[in-house]
Chains A and B, each alone.
Chain A
Amino acid sequence: MTLWALLLAPLATAAAICLAPARTAKWIATVGACTATAIAVLAALQFPHWTSETFWPDERGPEIFESLGVTFELGLDGVSMLMVLMTVLLVVVSVIGSFTAVTTREREYYAWFMVLESCVLLAFMARDAVLFYLGYEFTLIPMYFLIAIWGGPDRRPAAIKFFIFTFLASVVMLVGIVYVASRRAEHVGSWSFLIPDLISYASTQLTAQEQFWTFLALMIAFAVKTPFFPVHSWLPLAHDQAPTAGSVILAGALLKLGTYGAFRIGLPMAPLGGAELSQFFAVIAILGIIAAAMICWVQKDVKKLVAYSSVSHMGMLMLGMFALNPIGVQGSLIYFVNHGLSTGGLFLLIGMIYERHHTKDMDQLGGLARTMPVWSSFMIFFTLSSVGLPGLNGFIGEVLCLWGCFTSEHDAVSGYPGMLGPWFGIIAIVGLILGALYMLRMVGAIVWGTPKEPHHPHDGGDHGTRLPRDMSPREIGIMLPLAACCLLIGLYPKPILESMDPAVRAALVRYPDAVEKVLAERSEAEAAEASAQGTVTP
């Protein structure tokens, strides 16, 4: 029941916002978001077995399409619990962060925000593939409106590109899921879309070729959502144009749907496909790490810079996941959370600057350390978290992703054979240097240096709310929990790593064999080719 309450609380809040007068909207939204957080924390406390592989709770949900076996089942494991906790935290922070930023059509804004929260939670809690797909797709609608109504000057094209790009890609995923379910129905005799059912069928019964295409179909959707480098172009635009809170949720929760989907459905469903394609995706991921970092380096717009840095970070995350061993996958999962916290924090901070100075242009800002010392301290803190300074959260994710990549070899010490190996890691490590380069360039330009007067002087007159020169207590209040989480994860990641461990092991259970099989096939093919050449040449 807790999960149902968690799902419905934001929806009920949205309904209440619609009915109540406009000036109460933000307060109702705050109460609703806090309630959802309280329920999620309650669920985390109730969560009975951090060490179990199965979803919790075990009770079955009502069936939606009886004939197709689509059920409304919600469940959590260590990983989705973490995703849920991060989402509810970020929603609270972004709702409170929007108090002064959003002053038009407040009711609609907060109502859409609550609907968005509900959709994201649905996707994270779904045990049924169709339900997951529903949540995954429904997020587009509120997000579309958030960008298209409350966004920047180019908001319409940005919203449309965001919607169409990700929507088209996800249709391919649906095809993949339906294919697997129909093959299973042929085989078993009854339909089911439950994720564990599909996985246990597909990972054992489908041929290598079928797994290859299934994996590809799923990953097309997830790659666009994540996003991987060549299919990322919707993201900088969407981030740039979205309102601050929209960017926070986009980076913190929506992008994570892609990586979460890859972890929850993609990897376990088609191990042979995953093993076969892991090198391909790792190469693309590394390309993304380096190319996006270099693009960041020449950005003038601070928000765009952080948006491109998301692409770079996501490359690192996916690299860890395709290491196909517990180190890398743990690293990429903890990277989910880290990226949500640090990039979310950066977007919020940039939003505060935009509210005060009405610019995000690096050339027009400078020397903020003098005028806004508290803001500057937070900015440096989240920058350091983003570049992976040890002791803060970013480091844990980054180091484990790379670590996993390094040991992902045929004869790895880790005992989990993988397809990557040190060379992938050596190239990816360049991202560490580039990350420091562009982030410090930004900090050097806007935090340090001689104070610059932006063209729009600090007045806040547009909004009718006068903002203080430095951060207000409300703004400090929303940054503190994020900063505390960054420190906590950086210094004591053990509980999180432990709670995710069983789910990670379960997701990877078929991988050592699959990798061995793929490698054996490749060496056979090579041997055959060699012998074929050998018979020709003499």
Chain B
Amino acid sequence: MTLPALLASAEIPPFQGVHAATSAPELSWSGLLLLLPLASMVLCALMAMSRTRTKLPAIVTSVSFLGMFVTVLGLAFRVGDTPVVVHLFEWINFGWTAATPGPERAGEELWRSITANVGFYVDSLTIFWMLFVTGLGTLIAVYASEYMEQDRGVSYSRFFFGMSLFLLSMSALVMADNLVLLYLGWEGVGLASYLLIGYYYKKPAAVAAAKKAFIMNRIGDAGLALGIFLTWVNYGTVEYAPLFAALSDPPSGSGSWIPAAIPFCLMLGAFGKSAQGPLFTWLPDAMEGPTPVSALIHAATMVTAGVYLIARTFPLFAAHPDSLEVVAWIGGGTAFLAATIALAQHDIKRVFAYSTLSQLGYMFLGLGAVSTFGAAYHVFTHAFFKAALFLTAGAVMHGFAGQLDLRKLSGLRHLPGWKIVSWAMFVGCLWLSAFPFTSANFSKDAILEAAFIMDTPSYRFLGWLGLFTAALTAYYSFRVWFRVCCGPVSYSPGEEDHGSDDHHGHDHGSPGGAVRDHAHEPATSAHHGDGHGGGFHPHAPRLAMNLPIILIALGAVLSGIPAYQKLAGGENWAQQMVLHSSAYQGSAMPLAHGDAAVEHVAHPTVLGMNPHLAMMVIGGVAGVLGIAIAWWFHLANRQAAANLRSSLLASPATRWLPILLERKWFVDEIYHAIFGVPAWIASHLLHWFDRHVIDGLLVNGVGRIPPFLGRVFQPLYSGRLQGYAVTMSISVGVILLWALWAWIVGEAPR
């Protein structure tokens, strides 16, 4: 019922199936997308070994990222509507003739193969994704060249090694022509994220966060791996081109549970990478990493890989619409939950981290509501404004010695040198709150609109939840901006630089590094520590940080072009790009065939308006309302916020609310109690069992039998004559007794 409704109402051309892919060996230069980051990875490793203290690693990395961006542009002009497969080299590839046992299958010669090569599947969705991944990657690498400058040395190279590894993996993930190569990229970005979250490895919190991120991702990865195996078991291939070809045939209805399970497995992978639903807890902790990493990996690009996975394998999901409803619920639920937590956080980066979770939730809601365009477009717009927000937060952190508490910063826009940061943050917040006529407004509306178009009670509920969450979003994002950038000027520096104590760790590992370390300590604290005394001067960002901030904020503004095009009645190129790929939502069409209801479905309405208009109006009102409330509590009357909190805490009926929100709904604690503790106990029990029962009782017990037997019989061979005499007499006695008994028994019957 839902899909026909959608298809009837949206202006979607009829489904023609995913275009068959053509092979394009002439495009093999696109292999540069793997070679360039690989080269910069190797160079960074070499520079780490040579202990260079220059900015060379940053330069090499930025140049190679720029090269990738140019390569993607080149590809964009070469690839049309038809997907193109570029084979690079063979990775896992072997085949065999299927055995044909049994008489009924005799004579069949079936060629089976596992083919997972290193190759690219290039269509407009790929290009769309790679454009912002490489573009933002380049800008953020430039930004990081200044942000990380105090770490120049081995750590600086290590940082850019991680960034290159990330882009290498990301391009494998996005460009892959099969699910196994995607899995390679998938785990690769996880590794890059692990290494970069744990960049300040002397901080226990950073190490724990890195481990948590990797493990949570691993759980998702196991789901993805499961999905890949089941895909092969069911369809006999993991390459996109043959897979989509197999899927465009009507489902054969074999009745197996496997095809229905595949989307759920892939979904688990997507939730792990995009920190959704039950697997969300790693992302806020990932903010322990350097801020450029938070901006690039944990906000703009890597975390959207889950959206990419579902968009890319959308035909698999469309074949089982139940799975899409689950995606929608998880997405909508996460969006709401994360937004409520963001209301009560004081750390700027944490607020933005939860807003990322919330926005990712919207994207999954969009996927679940069969609006792949909405989801992908929201990824696109979100990438820019969220990167802008994180980069400005990073600039604040950089300038105020690690200060991120929004209660301790105020009026930044009146400070000299902070204009660019303040207004870029304003753009980010305005876009995040989906203010009318910003690009994020269009992309969020496309998602919510789709939810209302689905026109079932559950989707309608999710739609309203999304609208309510939009108001929350506007409130918490402007809470940050009004607090930090407006109002009277006041600030106090943080305790350390970059939230770390490792900024003088560049020479670690050299013999006597520890000694030199101490020599550095006074110098560094003299440089930054004067803030503690009250004479603190924030150092404003310079060109290498300001330029990317400006460009990314500009990108956020320009990301609205497709939507303005559409408003002007033209072609929406973003929509064209998403829909001319496997993410084409009409691929759900075959299910609608033969459903008589198609023609009779009326367009659903929201409050008497058509959904599109309704979203503009209601979403706009919600956003403005949220901003207004934030203005009242955090600029006009700052005391009111504190009063509200204390009055909530005072009443026993409401005190749970601020506590729950500030403690993040206790999700971490609950997980620890449900999974961590039992597993820990079980492992200790197993270890005890292994040592004392298996090894101690069984193995050593069996081992003790021969000596024990020996000891039993040992007295017999003591060598003493009396002993032998006693033994002999006992034996003779026993034999006599036996003979007697045998005689009696033998006698009795006679």
Contacts and interface: CB of A to CB of B under 8 A. Distances in A.
Interface of A: 161, 164-165, 230, 233-234, 237, 291, 294-295, 297-299, 326-327, 330, 367, 369-374, 384, 389-391, 395-396, 399-400, 402-403, 406-407, 409, 412-417, 422, 425-426, 429-430, 432-433, 436-437, 440-441, 444, 447-451, 468-470, 491-494, 497-498, 501, 505, 511-513, 515-516
B217 to A, nearest CB: 9
A422 B226 CA distance: 9
Contact of B187 (A370, A390, A415, A451): A390
Given A298-B683, A429-B226, A450-B204, 13 more contacts: A295-B690, A297-B679, A370-B514, A399-B180, A413-B236, A415-B97, A416-B99, A426-B226, A433-B222, A448-B201, A468-B511, A494-B90, A494-B92
B344 interface: no
Contact of A492 (B91, B188, B207): B91
A390 B188 contact: yes
Nearest to A412: B233
B208 A444 contact: yes
A356 B229 CA distance: 44
A444 B211 contact: yes
A497 B94 contact: yes
A384 B187 CA distance: 11
Given A295-B687, A422-B229, A230 B694 contact: yes
B135 to A, nearest CB: 25
Given A295-B683, A491-B91, A440 B215 contact: yes
B55 interface: no
A342 B557 CA distance: 50
A233 B699 contact: yes
Nearest to A491: B91
A4 B232 CA distance: 45
B229 A450 contact: no
B232 A415 contact: no
Looking at A299, A391, A426, A450, the one whose CB has the most chain B CB atoms below 10 A away is A391
A449 B207 contact: yes
The binding surface of chain A is classed by DSSP as: helix
Contacts of A498: 94
Interface in B191-215: 191, 194, 198, 201-202, 204, 207-208, 210-211, 214-215
Contacts of A294: 679, 682-683, 686-687
Nearest to A388: B187
17 contacts: A291-B690, A294-B686, A298-B680, A367-B202, A370-B508, A370-B513, A389-B187, A389-B191, A409-B233, A413-B234, A429-B225, A448-B201, A448-B207, A449-B201, A451-B514, A512-B99, A512-B101
Interface string B327-342: 0000000000000000
Contacts of B215: 433, 436-437, 440
Nearest to A387: B218
A511 B96 CA distance: 15
A513 B103 CA distance: 11
A42 B198 CA distance: 45
A238 to B, nearest CB: 12
A450 B201 CA distance: 8
Interface string B686-702: 11001000110001000
Contacts of B682: 294
A415 B214 CA distance: 36
Nearest to A160: B703
B509 A372 contact: yes
Nearest to A293: B683
The 7 A-B pairs at the shortest CB distance, nearest first, are namely: A415-B98, A373-B509, A390-B184, A233-B695, A512-B99, A512-B101, A448-B201
B229 A403 contact: yes
A425 B229 contact: yes
Nearest to B257: A422
A425 B225 CA distance: 10
Contacts of B180: 390, 399
B183 interface: yes
B202 A415 contact: no
A493 B222 contact: no
Contacts of B556: none
A511 to B, nearest CB: 8
Contact of A415 (B110, B225, B514): B110
A167 to B, nearest CB: 12
B528 to A, nearest CB: 21
B686 A291 contact: yes
Given A371-B513, A389-B187, A415 B683 contact: no
